[in-house]
Structure 1
């Protein structure tokens, strides 16, 4: 990344260097929209998560029922490659953490719904922060392992690791199905 200039980025994107600097605070921040797109798709999926389903069951069903488009898959592969670099590239890490911070805010209403609490409740905020951090760590581990060729991951591997990480990150039962209330 150090050898890549703002001019290189502008040329590859087919825009002027001035436009790059108008919209991005650094060359590394140019990757934020790509990283954010994957995060937003994940959050959009979680907004469909029924209260009656566990995290793992829902995610497996949802990802199987609506596989990524070719463009989404290409974006996800590019994201994995970028995420695999964040531990060694502080400026890329800063961009990745900015995206994770926005994901945390998007996760809070999902968690609030699962806990039947207001979005601004402390337990919701804490669960959103810890769950997002858990998801971040899993993404980093999987990305580093996949890019290095150390391991191939199946959908079940990813779902299992995400579920385990989120469950262990919070004392709240956010991954469990929520019992249905009786109408009586």
Structure 2
């Protein structure tokens, strides 16, 4: 038991360090520009040695992955936490309203970081690749969660389609919001846009998995 607890604490510390580096990187990208910022600059600002930075991340662009992944993980876990009696489309809407809500200050701050980073993807293929990989991992996680909720094998075509369409709906909503100056809350925020996208995609998401 003690060994398991120690490992859990170690993993939490590593996750906290990764997130601290990610915030530092995002701040420098915003203040100094993505091209002008080096991995060594991020390491120095984060108070770590360059070799420590490279133990966590292979490139400076990858350093912001934890900030992008945090929102994706929150979305997937919100789907998992949705009441079991909800059909899949309703569970997805339930999750979107919570994971993309700006009511919680910490969540609102996270969304603003995501907006900043997504705007930077216009100038950086490497950063676009990080975002694409985050989206792929999120879709895989969602597929596993939907399989649990419905008792459907993860390889089922309808399940794959539902996870792919739902993930794309969320991604499009977040990207559309990030391209504007709309506040995170309100009709132009990511939660509202996600609900609209999910509504448009409702047929493809729900027809095979909700029993309709």
The TM-score range, normalised by the shorter chain, is 0.7 to 0.9
Deviations 1:128-148 (A, max 9, x none): 1222122112111101213xx
Q: CA deviation at 1:60?
A: 7.3
Q: CA offsets, 1:82-141, max 9 Å, x none?
A: 122223321111111111111001111333355552222111112212221221121111
Give me the TM-score of the superposition, normalised by structure 2.
0.68
Q: Please name the residue that 1:126 is paired with.
A: 161
Report the TM-score when normalising by structure 1. 0.77
* More helix as a share of residues: 2
Unaligned runs of 5+ in 1: 180-184
User: Structure 1 residues 61 and 173, CA, compared in 2 at 3 Å: closer, same or farther?
Assistant: same
Matched positions, count = 172
Match of 1:110 in 2: 145
What are the equivalent positions in structure 2 for 1:1-184 lying under 5 Å apart? Answer: 1-50=34-83, 51-52=85-86, 54-55=90-91, 58-59=94-95, 62=98, 67-68=103-104, 70-113=105-148, 115-146=150-181, 151-157=182-188, 158-169=190-201, 171-173=204-206, 178=210
SS in 1 for 2:48: coil
CA contact 1:55–1:163 (8 Å) conserved in 2: no
Q: Deviations over 1:32-77 (max 9, x none)?
A: 0111112111211111122336257624774699953x44433332
TM-aligned CA deviation for residue 167 of structure 1: 3.9
Indicate the RMSD between aligned Cα atoms, in angstroms.
Answer: 3.0
Residues 1:123 and 1:61: Cα distance change in structure 2 (over 3 Å): closer
Structure 2 residue runs of 5 or longer lacking an equivalent are 1-33
Q: Equivalents in 1 of 2:200, 2:96: separation in Å?
A: 19
Conserved in 1, the CA contact under 8 Å of 2:111 and 2:184?
Answer: no
Give the structure 2 partner of residue 182 of structure 1.
none
Please list every run of at least 4 consecutive aligned residues from structure 1 whose deviation after the TM superposition is greater than 4 angstroms: 59-67, 113-116
8 A Cα contact 2:97 2:195, kept in partner: no
Q: How far 1:5 sits from its partner (Å)?
A: 0.5
